[in-house]
Amino acid sequence: MMRSLLSVTLLLVLVLVLTAEANKRSKNHRGGKHDKSRPISECSPAETKYGKCVPDHGDCGDGLREATCKDRTDKIHCKIPCNWKKDISDCKYKFGSWSSCDAATNTKTRSGTLKRALFNAECQTTVKVSKPCSSKVKKTRGEKKSN
């Protein structure tokens, strides 16, 4: 009697744990959005045309892009890094070092050469980016603050 009660109790606990896990998985699934790993169709990447990544909020972060092949268009996940230039986000470049600060414009620049184009993007072979010069003076290692 005691053994059968223990078996039934263990079986009920197992069923509850499995049910809770299934509910947890279904809650984590985002309704309406496609699975990142699911292929658009039987089309090869060369046959698929990709649109620009459109962020959900603002001008960077998670978003969606259209992927079209033959007569089918799907929305797929994409991301624009928030520290990156939006117009070259689908192009990957190898950049050199930052130039010294141009006192006239208070900016420094660096150029990059194209490593690869993602999603069949049309990319420039070389790009030049700039940013404001830092107002902080960098200290070398071992240098201490003077009080």
Percentage of residues in the chain having pLDDT higher than 90: 15
The pLDDT of residue 57: 83
Domain locations in the chain?
A: 33-84, 85-134
Decide which of 40 and 102 is more confident: 102
- Segment 46-101, tens digit of pLDDT: 788 888 888 888 878 888 988 888 888 888 888 877 766 556 677 888 999 999 99
Q: What local confidence, expressed as pLDDT, does residue 94 receive?
A: 92
Element (H, E) at 64: strand 61-69
3-state secondary structure of 43: coil
pLDDT at position 90 is: 79
Give 146's pLDDT tier (boundaries 50, 70, 90): low
Q: What pTM was computed for the model? A: 0.43
Give the Cα separation of 110 and 112 in Å (integer): 7
**Alpha-carbon gap, residue 92 to 113, rounded angstroms:** 8
Percent helix, percent strand, percent coil in the chain, to nearest 5:
20, 30, 50
Domain covering 33-84, topology: Heparin-binding Growth Factor, Midkine; Chain A (2.20.60)
The confidence score (pLDDT) of residue 140 equals 62
Report the chain's mean pLDDT, rounded to a whole number. Answer: 76
Confidence of residue 138 (pLDDT cuts 50, 70, 90): low
